[in-house]
Amino acid sequence: MSINNIGSLSGFIVIQDRLSEQTRRKLIALGIDPSTVSSESEALRLIEAIERKKEVQKVDNESNSKNTVSEEEEVSTKKRNEEAIFSMLNMSANVNKFILGL
**Spatial separation of the C-alpha atoms in residues 25 and 21, rounded to whole Å:** 6
**Spatial separation of the C-alpha atoms in residues 42 and 100, rounded to whole Å:** 87
Least confident of 3-7, 23-27, 65-69: 3-7
Per-residue pLDDT at 94 exceeds 50: yes
Q: Pick 20 or 18 by higher pLDDT.
A: 20
Q: How many CB atoms lie within 10 A of CB 47?
A: 17
Q: What's this model's pTM, rounded to 2 decimal places?
A: 0.48
Q: How far apart are the first and last CA of the chain?
A: 93
The number of residues in the chain equals 102
**Spatial separation of the C-alpha atoms in residues 92 and 100, rounded to whole Å:** 12
pLDDT digits (tens, 9 = 90+) for 42-86: 999 999 998 888 888 888 777 776 666 677 788 888 888 788 777
Domain-wise residue ranges, the chain: 3-100
Amino acid at 9: L
